[in-house]
């Protein structure tokens, strides 16, 4: 009984997911998400809003509405596998984003959405990954119902940096150099010695064309750049080298940083004469 979930409302559901042979691959006694935010498989995104609190439904999902063509390692779902979901809608309540939330809830939402973004990223759906990462940032930066304690404040800070680094990686995959730079700079303002953010910033310099300026528009998802022309001028190769060398000081064993520095050195080497 009760009204069905409205757009933007948060739901709590009990979920069981099984393969065609009856093998149970998913069990969550209380999965919490906002339909439409991309936090769960599409079968649940589409199916749960048709339910009423207390209702039990079965959704037979073809693979595009479950874990897609590649399947999943966690949960363990084979490629192109249809799934049968048994779903119980436990509760419907107003969505959390506009509301002041306790630090623990902000951390839970941020972590859940970042993990979903990682799931999309691993499957190569970088646009969906970016949406999840931005939703994670929205939860982490949302209004607080109470000030966080020292440990919660540190965890919020660490999650923001992780999420901004993930945003930068997704923006790079989508070919949006300036947006990737903005995410790197936002991460470095929180943690100036974050090796991953320094690496990403160096990678942006390498990924950018040597002569074409970066676009001037910036997304509202990230704070403004400290320098609007950073790595967008003719000398951005030198800037890329500086930040990569700084990243290498922080993580001398990183093979990725060594590889990026080698790429930069090759690009700066003059062509051999024949």
- Tell me: the pLDDT tens digits for 212-234? 333 333 344 554 433 323 333 33
Q: What is the pLDDT of residue 90?
A: 96
Judge if 108 and 90 occupy the same domain.
no
Judge if 110 and 197 occupy the same domain.
yes
DSSP state of 13: E
Evaluate whether residue 4 is within a structural domain.
no
Mean of pLDDT over the chain: 79
Evaluate whether residue 215 is within a structural domain.
no
| CATH number reported for the structural domain that contains residue 179 in this entry | 1.25.40.10
pLDDT bracket for residue 46 (50, 70, 90): very high
Judge if 245 and 196 occupy the same domain.
no
Residue range(s) defining the domain that contains residue 77: 9-94
pLDDT bracket for residue 175 (50, 70, 90): confident
pLDDT bracket for residue 49 (50, 70, 90): very high
Evaluate whether residue 46 is within a structural domain.
yes
Q: How far apart are CA 24 and CA 14, in angstroms?
A: 14
Task: Say whether pTM exceeds 0.75.
Answer: no
Judge if 109 and 201 occupy the same domain.
yes
Size (the chain), residues: 274
Evaluate whether residue 218 is within a structural domain.
no
Tokens of 181: 């730079």
Tokens of 229: 């022309």
Judge if 195 and 148 occupy the same domain.
yes
pLDDT (tens digit per residue) in 187-220: 878 877 655 655 555 555 544 443 333 333 334 4
Q: How far apart are CA 219 and CA 127, in angstroms?
A: 14
Cross-sheet strand order for the sheet of 56-61: 24-33, 10-18, 83-93, 56-61
Judge if 82 and 120 occupy the same domain.
no
| CATH number reported for the structural domain that contains residue 14 in this entry | 3.10.50.40
Evaluate whether residue 272 is within a structural domain.
no
Please count the structural domains in the chain. Answer: 3
Evaluate whether residue 274 is within a structural domain.
no
Long-range pairs, 20-29, Cβ under 8 A, ≥24 = 20/81, 20/82, 20/84, 25/75, 25/76, 25/77, 25/83, 26/75, 26/83, 26/85
Evaluate whether residue 213 is within a structural domain.
no
């Amino acid at each position: 009984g009760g009204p069905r979930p409205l757009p933007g409302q948060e739901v709590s559901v009990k979920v069981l997911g099984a393969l065609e042979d009856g093998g149970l691959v998913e069990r969550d006694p209380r999965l919490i998400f906002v339909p439409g935010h991309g936090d769960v498989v599409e079968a649940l995104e589409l199916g749960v809003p048709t339910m009423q609190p207390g209702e039990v439904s079965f959704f037979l999902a073809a693979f595009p509405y479950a874990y897609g063509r590649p399947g999943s390692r966690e949960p363990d779902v084979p490629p192109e596998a249809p799934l049968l979901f048994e779903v119980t809608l436990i509760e419907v309540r107003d969505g959390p984003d506009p509301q002041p939330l306790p630090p623990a809830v902000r951390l839970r939402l941020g972590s859940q959405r970042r993990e979903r973004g990682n799931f999309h990223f691993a499957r190569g759906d970088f646009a969906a990954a970016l949406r999840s990462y931005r939703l994670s940032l929205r939860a982490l930066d949302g209004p607080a119902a109470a000030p966080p304690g020292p440990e919660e404040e540190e965890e919020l800070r660490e999650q923001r940096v992780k999420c901004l680094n993930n945003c930068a990686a997704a923006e790079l995959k989508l070919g949006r150099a300036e947006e990737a730079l903005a995410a790197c700079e936002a991460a470095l303002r929180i943690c100036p010695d974050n090796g991953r953010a320094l690496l990403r910033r160096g990678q942006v310099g390498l990924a950018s064309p040597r002569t074409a300026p970066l676009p001037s528009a910036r997304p509202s998802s990230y704070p403004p750049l400290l320098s609007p022309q950073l790595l967008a001028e003719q000398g951005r190769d030198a800037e890329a080298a500086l930040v990569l060398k700084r990243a290498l000081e922080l993580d001398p064993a990183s093979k990725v940083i060594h590889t990026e520095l080698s790429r930069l050195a090759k690009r700066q080497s003059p062509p051999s004469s024949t």
